[in-house]
């Protein structure tokens, strides 16, 4: 491993040790901070799966350019799933419906307990994980160098996207919406899927821009740079993400439903409102910047735009997941610092290792194939 990888690995190990100490002192507080960090780490391979399957249907030079970093993110899917195990072992500390006395819950929640129960939750998670691992194996196999050009028969990618959409929907309902079982949103899973795509594509663009001068590489049309194609794709993803998030807010406030509005009230009180302001600012900055052809044709501009989009995804995950689980003042955020350093350090160490040794991706694929 390189020194940079060793540094990230050491930081991740220290973060995990601090997380272990935090769990021994207050398991609920530590797991509450652990969950958003893991969901962010999982969102990147899930977003990468979506992008590569869409590219398998549509083709395009933009997808060929970012294929390698997207494949590496997909190969890290088992790592992210494994890190969910601490939460799975203590669901009762995170989810209010797990292990709670049904009589103490509201009638609205009691009506959902046929779905929100631990055995069924675990079965659904195992099904989602199985679907994602099979799709990851399929996509890694189809996009490998041995496979040659991307297989664009379309059928397996179309079926894969349907299964992926189903799994993401179930996962978003179980792991995010059920943190507040009174809240209901039929668009939430789409918001999550669009945010995953923004995060994964932003990471892929940053990796590509760090290794190659994409602003001088040819794009899909004459007199169009590859950086423009990538920026235009990112613009479409960001615009979809903003639109869906805004529509959920508009429908909730327009409907004037107390339970749904309370979801936003929790995330708009105390210091969370400033995180919301930051999230909106990042979204608007990414959207406005991606409209500028000058920035899209600039190496530094593309890096900044992708970085802003990724920061927006980071803020979005933290803002959506953390507030209902948070208790205490600013000092309680040390749990979050430990969780993000632990998960982030390990994630970056593994990502950089696979980026330098892409042959290990094929090893992962063989391990999945052999069960």
Per-residue pLDDT tens for 168-191? 999 999 999 999 888 888 899 999
Residue whose structure tokens are 């189903």: 166
Secondary structure of residue 218 in the 3-state scheme: strand
Q: Check residue 33 and give its pLDDT.
A: 95
Note the pLDDT of residue 182. 85
Q: What is the pLDDT of residue 89?
A: 92
Structure confidence at residue 80 (pLDDT): 94
Whole-number pLDDT of residue 64: 85
**What's residue 146's pLDDT?**
61
For position 316, what pLDDT does the model report?
95
Please state the domain extents for the chain. 3-369
Cα–Cα distance measured from residue 43 to residue 335, given in angstroms and rounded to the nearest whole number: 21
pLDDT for 328 equals 76
Q: Is the whole model's pTM more than 0.95, yes or no?
A: no
3-class SS shares of the chain: helix, strand, coil, % to 5: 80, 0, 20
Q: Return the pLDDT at 148.
A: 53
3-state secondary structure of 59: coil
Say if CB 286 and CB 305 are below 8 A apart: yes
Per-residue pLDDT at 257: 76
Q: What whole-number distance in Å separates Cα of residue 19 and Cα of residue 338?
A: 6
Alpha-carbon span 121 to 99, nearest angstrom: 12
Kindly write down the DSSP assignment for every residue of 78-144, as one continuous string.
HHHHHTTHHHHHTGGGT-TTSS--GGGS-HHHHTTTTTS-HHHHHHHHHHHHHHHHHHHHHHHHHTS
Res 278: pLDDT: 94
Q: How far apart are CA 110 and CA 95, in angstroms?
A: 14
- Cα separation, 348 vs 12, in Å, equals 9
Residue numbers in the chain where pLDDT is lower than 50 = 150, 364, 368
């Amino acid at each position: 491993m390189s020194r940079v990888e060793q540094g990230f690995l050491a930081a991740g190990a220290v973060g995990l040790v601090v997380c272990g100490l935090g769990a021994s002192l207050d398991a609920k507080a530590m797991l509450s901070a652990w969950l958003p960090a893991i969901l962010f780490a999982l969102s990147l391979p899930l977003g990468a799966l979506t992008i590569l399957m869409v590219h398998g249907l549509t083709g395009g030079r933009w997808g060929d350019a970012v294929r390698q970093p997207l494949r590496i993110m997909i190969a890290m899917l088992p790592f992210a799933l494994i890190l969910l195990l601490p939460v799975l072992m203590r669901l009762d500390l995170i989810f209010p419906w797990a292990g709670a006395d049904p009589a103490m819950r509201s009638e609205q929640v009691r009506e959902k307990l046929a779905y929100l129960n631990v055995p069924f939750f675990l079965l659904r998670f195992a099904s989602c994980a199985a679907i994602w691992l099979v799709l990851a194996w399929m996509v890694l196999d189809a996009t490998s160098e041995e496979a040659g050009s991307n297989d664009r028969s379309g059928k397996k990618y179309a079926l894969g996207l349907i299964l992926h959409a189903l799994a993401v929907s179930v996962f978003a309902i179980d792991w995010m919406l059920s943190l507040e079982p009174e809240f209901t949103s039929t668009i939430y899973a789409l918001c999550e899927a669009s945010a995953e795509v923004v995060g994964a594509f932003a990471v892929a663009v940053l990796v590509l821009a760090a290794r190659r001068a994409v602003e001088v590489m040819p794009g899909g049309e004459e007199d169009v740079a590859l950086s423009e194609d990538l920026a235009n794709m990112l613009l479409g993803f960001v615009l979809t993400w903003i639109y869906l998030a805004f529509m959920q807010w508009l429908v909730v406030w327009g409907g004037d439903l107390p339970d749904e509005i309370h979801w936003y009230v929790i995330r708009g009180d105390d210091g969370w409102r400033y995180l919301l302001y930051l999230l909106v600012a990042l979204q608007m900055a990414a959207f406005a910047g991606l409209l500028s052809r000058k920035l899209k044709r600039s190496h530094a501009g593309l890096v900044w735009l992708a970085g802003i989009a990724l920061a927006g995804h980071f803020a979005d995950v933290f803002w959506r997941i953390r507030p209902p689980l948070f208790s205490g003042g600013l000092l309680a955020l040390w749990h979050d610092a430990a969780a993000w350093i632990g998960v982030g350090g390990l994630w970056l160490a593994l990502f950089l290792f696979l980026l330098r040794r892409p042959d290990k991706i094929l090893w992962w694929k063989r391990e999945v194939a052999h069960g």
